[in-house]
Amino acid sequence: MDGNRRFAKKHNLQGLDAGHRAGFVSVTYVLQYCQEIGVPYVTLYAFGIDNFKREPEEVKCMMDLMLEKIELTIDQAISGNLKDLKVIFAGDLNLLNERLKVAAQSLMELTEQNRGLVAVVIVAYSTSHEIVQAIRESCVRKCVDGDSPLVLEMSDVEECMYTSIVPDPDLVIRSGGIDRLSNFMTWQSSRSLLHTTAALWPELGLWHLVWAILKFQRMHDYLQKKQKLD
């Protein structure tokens, strides 16, 4: 979800959160498009750990905006308007402020039994951090289980990752015209197709999404063969 700040600069939008507000509007549309197309899982990289290094005023604006949108979504869930959407927050939620963490947990609980599109919102996350935490948790589990000697398998680490409850992504779409993953699910996306679009995140529309999916479908047989060889 890259390009919010560039979008604000491009359109002379005022306010630290102007671009991010436009980005949240795009989230709503993308989720709607995915529901209509029949995509079962969507993972949104909303806030990386490195984003905490930005100016404190901007970080606060982003956290406040995220809380505002989560609370709005909670109201929709309570009123019964989110029956076709399940929301999962993944990442080191302990790095969030208490009010935001509680709100995220509440939304997950409210939509836990929902059927339809599963939206995974990645916050306070980086692959590096995730792997370190997963290895630590794996070691703790092994010690508690009394396994000796301590031997970690790949499956042990994967079970302790933040995203272990959802399938690995088939397609990674990077907005903003930059060809890199930015420490986003690099373990899980080792066999994924990376599609980069020049459109900034708030500019992402239905046809950008359709084009990425068509590209994935065209490459599907090759990707399947590659997975079998691996």
**Rounded CA gap, 137 and 223, in Å?**
32
Token output for 42? 């969507």
DSSP for 105-144, written as a single string: HHHHHHHTT--SEEEEEEEEE-HHHHHHHHHHHHHHHHHH
Question: Which one is catalytic: 2, 84, 168, 170?
Answer: 2
Burial of 108-127, coded b for 16+ CB within 10 Å and e otherwise, reads bebbeeeeebbbbbbbbbbb
Active site residue 50: no
**Rounded CA gap, 80 and 56, in Å?**
36
Region of 55 (left: φ > 0; alpha: ψ -120 to 50; beta: rest) is beta
Token output for 69? 């949108």
**Rounded CA gap, 49 and 46, in Å?**
10
**Rounded CA gap, 130 and 136, in Å?**
10
Token output for 45? 């990289």
Q: Which positions are catalytic?
A: 2
